[in-house]
């Protein structure tokens, strides 16, 4: 039973709690760099697919624990786990049904993918801490180091995300300024129209 508890915790913490947020960070920030296209997309898909596969295995161990632990019920933890499995499965189907970039419904698909993805990450982090609380009830503080390690990993990912958010915004702003200057140069006094500010003859 103890091994099953440990396996369940490790699989879910690594998949839903680490790989899933990491995949979101990759998609959010790497795509800003033109040199990272299309590598960022394949990294994102690989990370999220691995997270889903490992997460399903962790979900399966949770079902096993539930069936073997008669009279012991963690209702919230179980309900959130089922919700995560459903949301993760919806994301897999969404990937299979992803429309082309120029399709008229792509904007709606993007919003759906974004909303379900971030909801999954938020719920997964909450549920992992619910799992740690369940461990404390059954095993005391012997797994506190696990909880502290996971907290450190999530804090590190959050810190990296904040730094990348600021850095990518700087890149985007500089890129837009550069594009505006180029556009003004094409249509200004030295523009490609060959006339500049002179009246056309």
Taking the domains of the chain in order of start, what are their residue ranges?
Answer: 2-186
CATH code for 2-186? 1.20.120.1770
Instruction: Express each pLDDT in 11-40 by its tens digit.
Output: 999 999 999 999 999 999 998 888 888 999
Q: Before 47, cis peptide (omega within 30)? A: no
| pLDDT at site 53 | 96
Instruction: Express each pLDDT in 77-96 by its tens digit.
Output: 989 999 999 999 999 998 88
| pLDDT at site 190 | 53
Structure tokens given for 88 = 């993760």
Helix (H) or strand (E) holding 110: helix 106-139
Count the alpha carbons within 13 Å of 131 in the hemisphere toward its beta carbon: 30
Q: Is residue 193 predicted with pLDDT exceeding 70?
A: no
Comparison of pLDDT for 144 and 152, the residue scoring more? 152
Q: Average pLDDT in the 144-169 region?
A: 94
């Amino acid at each position: 039973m103890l091994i099953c508890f440990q396996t369940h915790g490790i699989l879910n913490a690594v998949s839903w709690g680490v790989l899933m947020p990491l995949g979101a960070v990759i998609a959010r920030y790497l795509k800003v760099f033109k040199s990272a296209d299309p590598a960022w997309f394949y990294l994102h898909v690989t990370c999220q697919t691995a997270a889903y596969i490992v997460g399903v295995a962790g979900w399966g161990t949770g079902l096993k624990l539930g069936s073997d632990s008669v009279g012991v019920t963690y209702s919230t933890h179980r309900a959130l786990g089922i919700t995560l499995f459903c949301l993760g499965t919806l994301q897999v189907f969404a990937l299979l049904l992803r429309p082309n970039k120029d399709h008229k419904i792509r904007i709606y698909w993007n919003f759906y993918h974004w909303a379900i993805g971030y909801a999954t990450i938020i719920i997964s982090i909450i549920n992992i801490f619910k799992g740690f609380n369940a461990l404390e009830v059954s095993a005391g503080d012997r797994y506190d180091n696990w909880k502290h390690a996971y907290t450190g990993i999530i804090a590190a990912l959050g810190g990296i995300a904040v730094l990348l958010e600021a850095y990518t915004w700087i890149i985007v702003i500089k890129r837009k300024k550069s594009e505006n200057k180029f556009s003004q140069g094409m249509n200004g006094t030295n523009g490609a129209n060959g006339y500049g500010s002179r009246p056309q003859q």
